[in-house]
Amino acid sequence: MNTNRTRVAIHNRNMRTDAEEFARPAQPPDTTSWSALREAAKDCEACHLYKGATQTVFGEGPKGATMMLVGEQPGDYEDVAGKPFVGPAGKIMDQALEEAGIDRTKVYVTNAVKHFKWEPRGKRRIHQKPNSREIAACRPWLEAELRIVKPKLVVAMGATAAQTIFGPAFRVTRERGKVLSSKLAPRVLATVHPSSLLRQPDEASREREYKRFVSDLRAALYAAGEE
């Protein structure tokens, strides 16, 4: 019997069972203190994802930031470090932000889901896309961050972030780069997640998609009134 395959199958079965039986909306404290909110998020058990994660990875950045960047979830690097966007995708994002004329230290960066969802593959932890129940369970934390930070513009990076804000029917491919409004934030611009640039099949594709990503960020800078 392949021990590795058996371990993966057991892990996946347990994750599915937990997801079906245990997911409810998080209940952030009613506070205007970002620090208190972050501390409360450390103990979040609204869905099963906390069981496999090292820690909650909350957002970070200025509490009065004009722009908020929202990704999908922390990855392996972020789960260990406890900070959003510090892995390979974060490095690409930082480079694109700089090229677009955006200072990362002046924007608030977070994720729609605060715990790392993964499956084992040998000794590696491989990213798994969060499902609708996990996203719904974590959404109150994002809502609370938005209430405290009050950004002029939210940049939703990738389908999970965009659908958390606009609903499951939203398609980034159709609405990319447009400034839209939502119930969560008055101005939202959707673009791809920087990790998608890492998955491009060749250098030419990566370069083309990177330029499009930078262009979206420049549009966000203009829409936020920071240009």
pLDDT value at position 19? Answer: 45
pLDDT value at position 6? Answer: 43
pLDDT value at position 115? Answer: 98
The parts of the chain modelled with pLDDT lower than 50 are 1-4, 6-11, 14-15, 17-20
Tokens found for residue 219 = 């549009």
pLDDT value at position 23? Answer: 86
CATH number of 3-223: 3.40.470.10
Three-state SS for the chain is CCHHHHHHHHHHHHHHHHHHHCECCCCCCCCCCHHHHHHHHCCCCCEHHHHCCCCCCCCECCCCCCEEEEECCCCHHHHHHCCCCCCHHHHHHHHHHHHHCCCHHHCEEEECCCCCCEEEECCEEEECCCCHHHHHHHHHHHHHHHHHHCCCEEEEECHHHHHHHHCCCCCHHHHCCCEECCCCCCCEEEECCCHHHHCCCCHHHHHHHHHHHHHHHHHHHHHCCCC
Q: What is the pLDDT of residues 114-128, one digit of tens each?
A: 999 999 999 999 999
* 128 phi, psi to nearest 5 deg: -125, 140
pLDDT value at position 22? Answer: 74
Residue-range domain boundaries for the chain: 3-223
pLDDT value at position 9? Answer: 46
Strand-strand pairing, 153-157 and 124-127: unpaired
